[in-house]
Chain A
Amino acid sequence: MAGGLVPGAMLGSAVAQDRPASTVMPPELTAWVVIEPDDTVVIRVARSDMGQGVFTSLPMLVAEELECDWARVRPEYAPPAEHLARKRIWGNMVTTDSVSVRTSQDYLRMAGAQARTMLLSEAAARWGCSIEECSAKNGVVTHIPTRRRLRYGALAEAAGRRPVPADVVLKPSRDWQLIGTSVRQFDTQAKVTGKLIYAIDVRLPGMLHAAVSACPALNGKLKSYDATQVMLLPGVRQVVPVGDAAVAVVATTWWQAKTALEALQLTWDESAGAGLSTDAIRKTLQQGLNATDVAIGQRIGDVDSAMASAARVLRADYEVPYLAHATMEPQTCTAHVTDGRAEVWAPTQNGEGTVAAVAQTLGIDPSKVVVHKCHLGGGFGRRGLSQDWAHQAVLIAKAVGQPVKMIWTRQEDITHDYYRPMVIARLSAGFDADGKLMAWKARVCGSSIAARLAPQWMRNGQDIGMMNGFLKADMLYDLPNFEVSYAMRNNAVPVGFWRGVNYSQNSFFRECFLDEMAHESGHDPYRFRRQLLARAPRSLAVLDEAARRANWGRAPAGRHQGIAVVEFDDAVCAQVVELSVDADGVVKVHRVICVLDPVHVVHPDAVIAQMEGCILQGIGAVLTGDITIKDGRVEQTNFHDYPLLRMNEVPRIETYLIPSGGDPAARWGGVGESGLPPLAPAMINAVFAATGQRIRTLPLRQHKLRPA
């Protein structure tokens, strides 16, 4: 533990805590693998685990090729500071966009094969034989002709001095033994006994606690405060401004800090938020529906000519609200800043990003920053590129000079998020006299996430990602004429990456409007999609399997079905939602069928869990998810007015994985988010089947439903 702040005993073995790899004895086999004399296999994990299970699935990829004893594997986070010092030896640490497995599977399997080869070479050298006479299995190298054996633990130190082989041959997928099995995840027992240390649980000698409040109006400023009275309250040590928009009270315990913060006399400058409201934003976005300053995401044929010659034109406007992430662990970060150095304990989806944010905030070199990654109490995109919590924590810690743990209240968390953008869409479709689809045009309008958090992703000032789900790579419908465009209308509301980023709203627009098109042209929604997917075999297979498993078209009496299929991150997911609407208009979701083709599956049960999580987050968003703005302030503050789905609203979920497989070098699908985008349209299409009402704005609770 760098800095000597945290005795190992305090954090315990259950902690997903890093340690400086260079001081580990014995030395590394490779940067990814350390094997101790007792055969313990330490496998480094560069991405972050926020519940999706990469602390297990990424080591599985290494171990598959390493041929170690899986029961002896112990994962640990690769430390971001050392990562930078070693020229980013562990590759990309970012854990967003469902990238962990699909973009690191190749070099992780390679790392396992390299380490295995080094162990084999060392054994062969000791026995004076060729490497071909040796086999590696279950943590032991065997000399096949003589049956002599050497444990990995006895070979590792010497093997680590051998060159890392550049050319190793990886197993074909049919030979995988570990990949594709649902081994027990490493931290499950620590999670059910309360022993896992999240960032919010970190305790350091001499540590103080901070409660923080930013201006309640978005982008507002702290004008003034008077700390005289609260400094007299028990435990209060310091009141510190945090940048120009927030103030923190630092005390012995967090409750003391929070109580004092509520009593603090202060004034805000809320002028930046004057006039900002959901209604005002909606008016701005609606103007974008007819604007000409747009980015074109995809164009097929000549949509305007086709539309002009259409016998009938269907047009509809859709809208989704802002959504908060609401991770169960509120934003938190612990920091110790002294003498131009910073040590930070962070619930980060992006270890390098935290280093960079801390260095930038403090104006110090990144080499002076040590970030300890902790497992996250939920992420969902909140803790990746948006590092506001790290920024605040180190500012507070710098002012205090002692270790400080900052914890946001839930109110602070809900009112100062980087929200899923409010987006509106105008969709139009032209049909010929026979009802055949001739043209489809989509316009989306909302705040750009890239403009807010990743300007380096902008191309010619435009954010093409805002059209995800309508682009060539991710909309596989065979259309004669099509165009999607995006009118960027940025405002003061911070927007960010919310699980399913951009697909979450665009799939709702796309797949609900597709249902409208099917209805308009007299087709069954499932068969209408089938026709358009004739040249997309993977999508078709997933759609067909969902329909088959759901017994499509034959829902039990009183229940109604809706269907949707979405291509996302090289995965394809189709869902059928079965629901009923009672006489009072209350929706009950009874059953969700989910079929996923993720190409390859490392840990089936973790993938199924991701689908369950996506579906339930999706249902909650459809039913009640709504962040609204008034007078520059977010109106919702806690779970009473930003409700999440509860146990009594949970349907039966059936997930079927149908990995299409193929050459592992070709492509892998993402699984952390791909179950979310199809849910809203499948559910809203089922609401149409139940009521005949086309719901085009979310959440559902603003609508009065009437069973048909």
Chain B
Amino acid sequence: MIELAVNGKMHRFEGDPATPLLWLLRDEVGLMGTRFGCGAGLCGCCTVHVGKDAVRSCITPVSGLAGASITTIEGLGAKGLHPLQSAWIEHAVPQCGYCQSGQIMQAAALLQANPRPSEAEIDGAMSGNLCRCGTYPRIRVAIQQVAMGKVPGRIEAPVSTRKKAGRP
């Protein structure tokens, strides 16, 4: 039997200790925001925090997590949206959205360790997280905005009107 905390709540797990954290979260705890992408730590879809570290939950056996404190996307913005989530909305980052939980968890760990990362540091930290839709340029900008303190942690109004056409 293994006990661990998920988003501040204790959970007991009596199944196979080799079970990856991802499947404990999804099929036992019922938190579906952490997603399965590759099962081999190659895409980052399943990224969660163990303590302050971003880890790939698909290859992290529960056996090593006794007493650990896990944070998932559902627990990231405990008091409303995390600034990264606000920035993701502001910059219309998601396309299909499937990988974005992992992207945001990875970015949150980066900013916690390094609040003012350079562009190269952002690229370095984020290059383990795949996005097939190609939202990378917006992810990069959203992280930079948060790092520069330009995004408050607030819930946005439902509608924003942006410039009609053209970029930049």
Contact = CB atoms under 8 A, between A and B. Distances in A.
B94 A253 contact: no
Contact of A647 (B15, B139, B156, B167): B139
A650 interface: yes
Nearest to B164: A180
Given A184-B159, A184-B160, A647-B126, A375 B96 contact: yes
Interface string A373-385: 0011111100000
Given A200-B36, A330-B36, A52 B95 contact: yes
A650 B95 contact: no
Contacts of B135: 609, 612-613
A644 B36 contact: no
B32 A326 contact: no
A192 B86 CA distance: 9
Given A187-B97, A203-B32, A182 B130 contact: no
A378 B98 contact: yes
Contact of A192 (B15, B31, B94, B158): B94
B130 to A, nearest CB: 5
A328 B159 contact: no
B162 A181 contact: yes
Nearest to B19: A255
B92 A182 contact: yes
B100 A639 contact: no
Contact of B133 (A180, A378, A407, A650): A378
Interface residues of A, number: 78
Contacts of A617: 132, 134
Interface string B72-98: 111001000100010011001111111
Given A234-B16, A646-B130, A180 B165 contact: yes
A195 B31 CA distance: 9
Interface stretch (A156-164, A221-229, A456-464, A654-662): A654-662
A647 B74 contact: no
A605 B162 contact: yes
B158 A650 contact: no
A560 interface: no
A604 to B, nearest CB: 5
B126 to A, nearest CB: 4
21 contacts: A51-B96, A182-B163, A185-B92, A192-B88, A193-B81, A194-B72, A198-B98, A201-B35, A253-B28, A255-B16, A259-B18, A328-B35, A328-B130, A376-B96, A604-B162, A614-B134, A639-B43, A640-B40, A650-B137, A654-B168, A657-B166
- A-B complex: 6 closest residue pairs judged by Cβ atoms: A194-B33, A191-B97, A51-B95, A377-B98, A51-B96, A616-B134
Given A194-B101, A638-B40, A648-B127, 15 more contacts: A187-B94, A189-B155, A192-B89, A192-B97, A378-B98, A378-B132, A410-B38, A604-B164, A604-B165, A640-B40, A646-B127, A647-B127, A650-B136, A650-B140, A656-B166
